[in-house]
Structure 1
Amino acid sequence: MARVALGLGVRELAALAKVAPATISRLEAGEELKERTILDIRNALDTAGIMFIDQNGNGPGVRLRDRQA
């Protein structure tokens, strides 16, 4: 959801996170990845403008960070 909200393709996010495109596809398919790999992807999304929302009654989520004028 975060990748799509940013308008990024699999290859673009992979380049930002410095991982293979297949790694992004595996993550999105729900496969298990190394913790460090997940952190690299999360950091890339955070840098690109995603805010991660802690779990509440409905589970964790994401939103776009407000753009500063």
Structure 2
Amino acid sequence: MITSAQIGAACALLGWKQIDVAAVAGISEMSVKNIGRGVTNPRVNRPTAIRTAHEAAGVIFIDQNGGGPGVRLRKAQTSLG
């Protein structure tokens, strides 16, 4: 599961505001704000929608695996002509 800190960091990497996340994820801005504050309803799949939206834009979420959770941008692919 992603953390609110990871969501904030992913937004910073992409230059997204909460309204941008809401539009791309197909959820309300209030839902994004609540998730960012750690207020969520575990029966609702909104954190997954937020993660999917960020991943589609190139963010990689790094799970908690001893080193702590984090985010990074996927390396840009270049096409050779």
Structure 1: tracts of 5 or more residues without a match? none
> Which structure is larger by alpha-carbon Rg, 1 or 2?
2
Query: Which residue of 2 is the match for residue 52 of structure 1?
Result: 61
Structure 2: tracts of 5 or more residues without a match? 1-8
TM-score normalized with structure 2 length: 0.76
Query: Which residue of 2 is the match for residue 18 of structure 1?
Result: 26
2:37 to 9, 16, 29: 29
For these two proteins, the number of residue pairs brought into alignment is 69
1: CA distance, partners of 2:65 / 2:46: 25
Across the aligned residues of Structure 1 and Structure 2, the Cα RMSD in angstroms comes to 1.3
**Would you identify which runs of 4 or more consecutive aligned residues in structure 1 move more than 4 Å?**
none
Structure number with the bigger relative contact order (C-alpha 8 A, sep ≥ 6) is 2
Query: Which residue of 2 is the match for residue 42 of structure 1?
Result: 51
1: CA distance, partners of 2:74 / 2:27: 23
Deviations 1:5-51 (A, max 9, x none): 11011111100000011111111111123441111111001001110
Higher strand share: 1
Which range moved further: 33-42 or 14-23?
Answer: 33-42
Matched AA of 1:63: R
Q: Identity over aligned residues, as a percent?
A: 38
